[in-house]
Amino acid sequence: MKKRYIILLFVIGMIVLSAVPFLSPVRPFIQLPGEVWPGTKDWPFIGTVLGGMTNTFASALFAWLIVIILAVTLRAGSRTADEVPTGFYNLFEMLIEGAYNFAENIAGPKVKDFFPWFMSFILIILITNWMGLIPGWDSIGFWEFKPHFFAEQEIDAIEDRLAAAEIDGEGAVAAYVAELEDRFHIDVHLEDGHLSHETEEEILHELEHEIDEENKGDLRVGSLLIRKSNATDVEPEEDDKGRPVGYSKDAADWTIVPIFRPGATDLNYTLAFALIAMVMVQYYGFKYLGARDYLSKFFPFIGKGFGQQVAKNPIKAIDPIVGFLELISEISKIISFAFRLLGNLFAGMVLLFVMAFLLPIANMAFFGLEFFVGLIQAAVFGLLMLIFMVSATESHAHGDDDHH
């Protein structure tokens, strides 16, 4: 059978499956921060220091693993390559050579310093972006009881209010404790300014019960993943105090925490890359110009002969103001880097989720769009970093002459 007929049958099958009500995709539970894997908050270091393993962090680690495997494999292949290399090694060599020539046209002789950063950032970000297009990548995961998730958020808010009350004095703490006791009808005990373990568990159960009654869930669990039915015929079991102790998986209050989620959909990931990029920009600025010449871009009055320049040309007196604006611009580049990548990738993920819910067959077109968005965003990040590095290493006075 010809390939076009196979593709046609595949498309028809997707349309048919989309029309079957109980097979329609569920509405996703979308949140901006990376979701923590259930049960990882107690892990050594990851749980105690990082607060648990997030799916975006796991995705970033996986991307790094792929890059390391590529580097090791291609390094070994370079030692045994024939005079005319073939296969994947040949393809990657062409890509690296093309990227190097492109970077050299921008950076000139400095490309030897800048290219490793330029190419490494593009590869890591590109792989992370494209991971989200793998079927099941951000839809296969752990079941999580949503009332428990919201209750944990409320516990964190209570701890924050306790910390604020402690600053105001013992009276404020006592008043807030009384408020908690009146709300939850329990005896609240504190340990070192925090809720005791027993009190926290009691409040957690009460909050879960409150949130469960609101029926905030989107999914229910059965043999298949089914849309929320708002069914309330299955009630959780309760203990002798009326607190829920177990929840049926038929209740419409469960969702999926994906095992992996594209790293760039988490601000922590994009901000980390933005900080590293701008730190290296400053490093190369100091390396090529020296501390005094580089800082004189932002504080012209510390440069050589600034007073004489102002005497000859009074308009130079506004240079400190311009330098201050440039300093603000350097800081704002971090924000621009981080939010540009985050916004585009997170919006793309939400777009694919929503289209899968409304009209699954439409995702065939949007997958192609997101493929190029992932490529373009990785290239834009690397290109801007390269341009900023080149700009940082050029003096205001004679940068153009040095470059040429």
Task: Please give the chain's pLDDT, 404 residues, in tens.
Answer: 566 777 777 777 766 666 665 555 555 566 778 888 877 877 888 877 777 888 889 999 999 999 898 888 877 666 555 555 666 777 888 888 999 999 999 999 999 999 999 999 999 999 998 988 887 787 777 777 777 778 888 888 899 899 898 888 888 888 999 999 998 888 888 888 889 988 998 998 888 887 777 655 445 444 344 444 433 334 444 445 444 444 444 445 667 778 888 888 889 999 999 999 999 999 999 999 988 888 888 888 887 777 777 778 888 788 888 888 889 999 999 999 999 999 988 888 888 877 777 777 777 778 888 889 999 999 999 999 999 999 999 876 544 444 44
Model pLDDT, residue 82: 57
- Predicted pLDDT at 263: 87
Q: What is the CA radius of gyration of the chain?
A: 28
Burial class (CB in 10 A: 0-12, 13-18, 19+), 33: exposed
The dihedral sign for the CA sequence 155, 157, 161, 164: positive
The length of the chain, given as a count of residues: 404
Residues 275 and 280: their CA atoms lie apart, in Å, by 9
Q: Which residues have a Cβ under 8 Å from the Cβ of 238 and sit 6 or more positions away?
A: 244, 245
142: part of which helix (H) or strand (E)? strand 141-145
DSSP letter at 187?
A: -
**Residue written as tokens 């070994």?**
76
Helix, strand, or coil here: 240? coil
Residue 2's pLDDT is 65
Query: What's the number of CA atoms in the CB half-sphere (13 Å) around residue 86?
Result: 1
Phi, psi of 114 (to 5 degrees): -85, -30
SS3 143: strand
- Residues in Cβ contact with 21 at an 8 Å cutoff, skipping those fewer than 6 apart: none
The token pair at 161 is 């209010």
Residues 6+ apart with CB under 8 A from 74: 89, 92
Residue 348 and residue 107: Cα distance in Å, rounded?
Answer: 32
Give one DSSP letter per residue of 7-42, joined into a string.
Answer: HHHHHHHHHHHHHSGGGSPPPP---SSPPBPTT-TT
Query: Which of 62, 297, 36 has the alpha carbon at shortest distance from 149?
Result: 36
Q: What is the DSSP letter of 54?
A: B
pLDDT of residue 306: 74
395, 402 Cβ separation under 8 angstroms: yes
Predicted TM-score of the model (pTM) = 0.71
Residue closest to 264 by CA, chosen among 50, 86, 2, 57: 57
pLDDT of residue 87: 67
Dist CA 195 CA 166 (whole Å): 13
pLDDT at 236: 44
Question: What's the DSSP call for residue 195?
Answer: E
Per DSSP, helices labelled H in 108-256 are 111-131, 146-168, 170-184, 197-214
Beta strand 219-221 with 190-191 is unpaired
Helix axes 111-131, 55-80, angle to 10 degrees: 130
**DSSP three-state, residue 325:** helix
With beta carbons less than 8 A apart as the criterion, state whether 205 and 238 touch. no
Query: How many CB atoms sit inside 10 A of residue 400's CB?
Result: 10
CA distances from 298 to 185, 283, 288 (A): 60, 15, 16
